[in-house]
Amino acid sequence: MDINIRVMTRKDKPGIMRILATTPEFKPSEVVVAEEVIDSYLASPRSAGYCTLVAEIDSVIAGYVCFGSTPLTEGTWDLYWIAVAADKQQQGIGGTLLGLAEKSMREEEARLVIIETSSLPAYERARQFYLNHGYEVIGHIPDFYTLGDDKLILQKRLK
Ligand SMILES: CC(C)(COP(=O)(O)OP(=O)(O)OC[C@H]1O[C@@H](n2cnc3c(N)ncnc32)[C@H](O)[C@@H]1OP(=O)(O)O)[C@@H](O)C(=O)NCCC(=O)NCCS
């Protein structure tokens, strides 16, 4: 499998939207916010505060990752979204995207990466993925998203 990871361009948006819309973990309201972030990035790739990488296989978008420097911090970055098409998961694409996002953050002098995720069972695979890539749970806000759906905050120190 030949994966090409590169910076997102405008023509990649339909492929990313297809992945978001068919990812069962994401609620429609989350897809709306993800699209707003993509649009804001595309409108101003250098100054929107977001970096977006896509994974392409045979000219088809198979996944993406979106991250950005956290406003009002020195060296803290947020990993906002990562998703891989359901039929392309468990083949190393998510790990490759995450690794290259971290490389890009390191190049920008990032020292801390923060990820927020849900405690629901549907996110167990994502949680395990983050833990296996060196992230640790450092915060837990009960009932944050809704009753019974807690916010988990994970971090990884890059230096
Ligand atoms: C989380 C997510 C991005 C991971 O993407 P992925 O492409 O499946 O990730 P990888 O293939 O690199 O790794 C997944 C597992 O596949 C296995 N794997 C990796 N490469 C492999 C290969 N070449 N062959 C077989 N298995 C492999 C690994 O064991 C890995 O296990 P781990 O996650 O426990 O470390 C993906 O599951 C996803 O899009 N989920 C839905 C959206 C989501 O929940 N996003 C996060 C919101 S907080």
Residue 125: enclosing H or E segment and its boundaries?
helix 124-132
Neighbours of 127 (CB within 10 A): 19
User: pLDDT 10s per residue in the chain (159 long)?
Assistant: 789 999 999 999 999 999 999 999 999 999 999 999 999 999 998 788 899 999 999 999 999 999 999 999 999 999 999 999 999 999 999 999 999 999 999 999 999 999 999 999 999 999 999 999 999 999 999 999 999 999 999 999 998
Q: Residue 156: beta bridge partners?
A: 113
Establish whether residue 92 lines the binding site of ligand 1, counting it when its CB lies within 6 angstroms of any ligand atom: yes
Q: Are strands 112-118 and 60-69 parallel, antiparallel or unpaired?
A: unpaired
- 126 CA from centroid of ligand 1 (Å): 7
Domains of the chain: 3-115 (3.40.630.30)
Q: Given ligand 1 and candidates 81, 91, 116, which is best to mutate, with the most ligand atoms within 8 Å of its CB?
A: 91
